[in-house]
Structure 1
Amino acid sequence: MPADPPVTVSFVPSGRRGTVPAGTTVLDAARALGVDVDSVCGGRGLCGRCQVTLGERPGLPADPGRLSPPSLPETGYAGRRPLAPGHRLACAAQVLADVVVDVPEASQVHRQVVRKEAGRPDVAVDPVLRLHYVELPEPILEQPTGDAERLAAALAAEWGLADVRPDHHVLVALQPALDAGHREVTVAVRDGREVVAVWPGLRDAAHGVAVDVGSTTLAAHLCDLASGAVLASAGRMNPQIAYGEDLMSRVSYAMLEPGGAARLTAAVREALAGLVVTLCEDAGISPEDVLELTMVGNPVMHHLVLGLDPTRLGSAPFALATSGAVTVAASTLGLGVHRGARVYLPPCVAGHVGADAAAMVLAEGPHRSDALLLCVDVGTNAEIVLGDRHRVLAASSPTGPAFEGAQISGGRRAAPGAVERVRIDRATYEPRVRVIGVDAWSDEPEFARRSRRAGVTGICGSGIIEAVAELYLAGVVGSDGTIRPVDSARMVPEGRTWGYRLWEDPEIVVRQADVRAVQLAKAALQAGCRLLLDRAGVDEVDEVRLTGAFGSHIDPLYAAVLGLVPDCDLDRIRSVGNSAGRGSLMVLLSAAARREVEEVTGRVEKVETAVEPRFQEHFVAALGFPHGTFPSPHLASRVALPPPVAPPARGRRRSGGEAPSAVVS
């Protein structure tokens, strides 16, 4: 019998084209030509993932007769994904003549998760974990092969997966699943090698969780691993705060308290397990449906989550237990998800620059940029990255908890009722504020009504930054950080210093100690940035990106006014959200992203602020607003800066409070 004549199949949007024998299914043609068409059921007309439509090009119209008429797998299709009008199942439709086939995004394996944020690449969804449906033959006496071996053979024959090995719990569950599914099962295969889960019949949904383990806040996203869709997001405070506000206090607790490290580990793991439960409840799924997790965090958080001793990170040479990427069973961490689930943590850069910085690099992409980018994750422990496609440097700087609203009089976490925005009239020194949860300023008529429920509770990190910056621009705070008495009833004498009453009920006063706390934090951050500029041999950067749960709420103008970062064109200082969390999401959804983060982390140059001789010099110079020595021409072109305060005469006491140098020790 003569062979069927070849026909030409053209796929869009991939642009792939080739010839196949007439009668070939569209799915087989796609596989033969290397075209991206999704399928869990292996072409059995069950999952509905391989839906395609007819396309056209000049001379080749969208004629339904170019494909076989719908057959029973399509006319009787009752899968979970409805067969949309005009759609065909690629596994059932046969190519009869030259044809153009359009593969919708929903039917692509490596579909794009589009991020509408400038300067960020789309993420091609290509998770390490995939579901595969197989049908195994009944065992017979003449072939004593085990069911695990039959499963491996089916995965090799139908899915091209060689040398696949099941986890022990899969071996335990395999035969009951085969019995319940009448020899039809779906398995989850990780990295093309490990079978980590098995279910009877067809299953077409697997889920993953991406987590940013911050020293102050835990933030997580629950995703559909096939589509990349974020189904739920949640966050909560890191309970380790009860043992210390900053990282070094927690390291000290682990070092000095018997069983301290174990308590810190137990606290954060319990919180993470609770966070997963919250996500799953919000999405209407079970924690048993979670099969893959990714986590990023600074080295101390990284070690404590994994149960590694963090005490060596407390002193030079800041030795990590491991700097490489880590994959661990989720059951080892007690996260309450599917027992076959794995947790992936990207590599750490160095002893004080962790997997969160690596995730930030992946998300912001300085290594892909022609411009020189400065990326700053602002928090209790700031991670700083400077680089372009030629070179990437990183450092960390211990800014302390002031940016989180801690150790500030009237300070509050960022929660409803906390002051987050401040404006001060330059002539009258009268303030107006906005609080979290209320979209009106305090001088607007509707503010009282809208704020009645939460009230005004205190001031959070972004609020204290704006308050100090506005006081500086109004001349109440000098460039040296001293609060100076001005002609206003809002000035509050406090011994040898002054305070500024920002709010009456409850009373919120910006005190000299608050300004000093902001000075110390911002000077540490600026000094870390300057060390990287020194190492790179440059004086300024092309662009600054403020990241992190807190950094994303900083107004770039006030970041520049206070001198949190080196002077830069204000239009190129941007708050870009939680880059570490976005990087965690990228490595959850993309195997290529994991390879990229591991490669780029290996060539990041680490600058250790704790042992750099010039750090203290840069720190002292950066105490002034915006900076004690470096000019701020970009900022000065946009904002009228008060004249700098002249240093006091030798031997005379500074009016209005202590000199910044007296509080730096």
Structure 2
Amino acid sequence: MKCKVTVLDGQKSSEFYVDSGTNLQKAILENGLQINAPCGGRGTCGNCKAFVSGNVSDITNIERKKLTEEEIQSAARLACQTFVMGDATVHIEQKKSAHIQIEGLDYQVDLSPLVRRINISLPAVSLENCKDDTERIIQSIGEKKLKFIPEALSKISNVINGEDQDLVVTCTDDFIIDIGTKLKETSDYGFAVDIGTTTVVGYLVNLVSGKIEDTISEINDQTYYGADVLSRVSYGKENPDGNEILHTKLVEQLSRMLKKIVDKKGISKENICCMSFAGNTIMMHFLMGLNPFRISVSPFTPVTTASLICSAQDLGIEYHPKCLVYLLPSISGYVGADITAGMLACSLTDKDKIQLIVDIGTNGEMVLSKNGELLSCSVAAGPAFDKTISPLVPISTIS
């Protein structure tokens, strides 16, 4: 039997239909709506509270422990413990907005982007110059080692007309990956993203000047499936399509953020030459569509910690599918690519200094560098700030 569910969230109202016996939290999330579920639906946090009227399952003992008697009398329920048995109306409390820090210190780097665009003037063909198109292009660039990938090769007949032409060639160090007419805009951009457990921050970087042109930040869409990575790993294990859902949520958010920042700056998405992503090891697994479950159990083994170069389409980022993407390498199951990025940014490999980098987020990590040797460790930091765990040392004694 199909049941009608009406969800009221502030000023918004949504309706959808589900089968009788469907879990309410699952129904809300799968229909594109949001509800807090930091514990991943296990009923331990009590944050998926909603006020429900209509035909639903009876209140559980878990709910009675998490809700006050007054809340129960007001029809409060935990969505993760409630099942839709018939038509129902759900009132969700409005979420508080969060402030996401996106500023940081500027530092100078030598620009060496993953992808570069080269403007060339290709002379017309003639009896004296009848070399094939690929040879003439490589000759115009002046780098004999370059080779065409099949996708770029297939574009030549549609782009080159045999006359004098101004073209733009997109290259990596070894390959020509695209060819086309000159773009209207003169600047090339990269999109660098820090995929945090709680927040996702993207930076639009001018690849000519190295300047950060703009930033965009959002709460990670996966937080509604669990506040911490282990809750999300559990969600992926306990739901048949769980890992696919978490992967899809992430790549759809990345596509949306890229489109927002491109539209805001008034540039063409074709001017985004490359993207780079860093995050903790489990978030990198979700991005690649890999199952991270074995990271959650001893001996905490990832599928991979290696770096990866691929197209955005390979990851499912559909807004700019042909864009080249670089995924930074992780270090271990709980020391991720975000720390790798931090080590590079802080020049932590300087052998003449003793240095310590500390990253306190939902997951906390630190790396100590001494005489070129690096030592790293990690800890769950978020619960300390959520007052879920107490400090080992009284705050008043810390100086």
Q: Please give the TM-score of this superposition, normalised by the length of structure 2.
A: 0.68
Give the aligned partner of residue 394 of structure 1. 376
Residues 401 and 234 (structure 1 numbering): CA distance in 2 closer, same or farther, change over 3 Å?
farther
**Partner of 1:198 in structure 2?**
179
Q: Secondary structure at the match of 1:357?
A: helix
Count of aligned pairs between the two proteins: 296
Out of 181-190 and 295-304, give the one that drifted further: 181-190
Q: Distance in 1 between matches of 2:322 and 2:135?
A: 19
Q: CA deviation at 1:200?
A: 1.6
1:126 paired residue number: 112
Alignment of 1:652-663 (within 5 A): none
Quote how far apart the aligned CAs of 1:233 are: 0.4
In structure 2, distance between residues paired with 1:232 and 1:189? 25
Partner of 2:394: 624
Q: Spell out the pairing of 1:58-457 with structure 2 (5 A cutoff).
A: 117=105, 122-140=108-126, 145-155=131-141, 159=142, 161-179=143-161, 182-191=164-173, 193-201=174-182, 204-336=186-318, 338-368=320-350, 370-401=352-383, 403=385
Q: Give how far 1:183 is off.
A: 2.6
TM-superposition CA deviations, 1:559-597 (whole Å, max 9, x none): xxxxxxxxxxxxxxxxxxxxxxxxxxxxxxxxxxxxxxx
Residues 1:248 and 1:626: Cα distance change in structure 2 (over 3 Å): farther
Paired with 2:339 and 2:297, the residues of 1 have a C-alpha distance of: 20
Deviations 1:137-192 (A, max 9, x none): 4345787643123212322xxx3x1221223332232233323984321111112x
Amino acid at match of 1:132: I
The corresponding residue for 2:77 is none
Deviations 1:347-406 (A, max 9, x none): 111111110111111122332264533322111111111223432211110123453xxx
CA RMSD of aligned residues (A): 2.6
CA–CA distance in 2 between the matches of 1:306 and 1:181? 43
- Could you report, residue by residue, the CA deviation over 1:115-143 in whole angstroms, capped at 9, with x for unpaired residues? 995xx852122223222122334345787
The residue type equivalent to 2:111 in the other structure is V
Give the greater-gyration-radius structure (CA). Answer: 1
C-alpha spacing 1:338/1:151, structure 2 compared with 1 (3 Å): farther
Partner of 1:366, secondary structure, is coil
Change (3 A) 1:242 1:200: same
> In structure 2, how many angstroms separate the alpha carbons of the residues matched to 1:142 and 1:370?
60
Residues 184 and 202 of structure 1 are in contact (CA less than 8 Å); yes or no, is this contact kept in structure 2?
A: no
Matches within 5 A, 1:641-656: none
* CA displacement, residues 576-630 of structure 1 (integer Å, 9 cap, x when unaligned): xxxxxxxxxxxxxxxxxxxxxxxxxxxxxxxxxxxxxxxxxxxxxx243356xxx
The one-letter code sitting in structure 2 at the alignment partner of 1:239 is: D
Matched residues in 1 for 2:108 and 2:311: separation?
29
2:14 aligns to what?
none
Alpha carbons of structure 1 residues 626 and 148: separation in structure 2 relative to 1, 3 Å:
farther
Q: 1:315-348: CA deviations, max 9, x gaps?
A: 1222122222111111212324544421112211
How many angstroms apart in 1 are the aligned matches of 2:133 and 2:298? 54
User: Judging changes above 3 Å, is the alpha-carbon distance between structure 1 residues 291 and 126 closer, same or farther for their aligned structure 2 residues?
Assistant: same
- 3-state DSSP of counterpart to 1:335: coil
Unaligned runs of 5+ in 2: 1-102
Asked whether the equivalents of residues 383 and 389 of structure 2 are also in contact (C-alpha less than 8 Å), the reply is no
CA deviation profile, 1:421-464 (whole Å, cap 9, x unmatched): xxxxxxxxxxxxxxxxxxxxxxxxxxxxxxxxxxxxxxxxxxxx
Give the counterpart letter for 1:352 in structure 2: Y
User: What is the CA–CA distance in structure 2 between the aligned matches of 1:141 and 1:338, rounded to whole Å?
Assistant: 40
Change (3 A) 1:209 1:202: closer
User: Between Structure 1 and Structure 2, which shows a larger proportion of helix residues?
Assistant: 1
C-alpha offsets along residues 55-89 of structure 1, whole Å, 9 cap, x if unaligned? Answer: xxxxxxxxxxxxxxxxxxxxxxxxxxxxxxxxxxx
Structure 1 unaligned runs (5+)? 1-114, 409-513, 524-621, 636-665
Q: How does 1:501-520 map to 2 (within 5 A)?
A: 514=387, 517=388, 519=390
Residue aligned with 2:153, SS: helix
Task: Specify the code of the residue in structure 2 equivalent to 1:625.
Answer: I
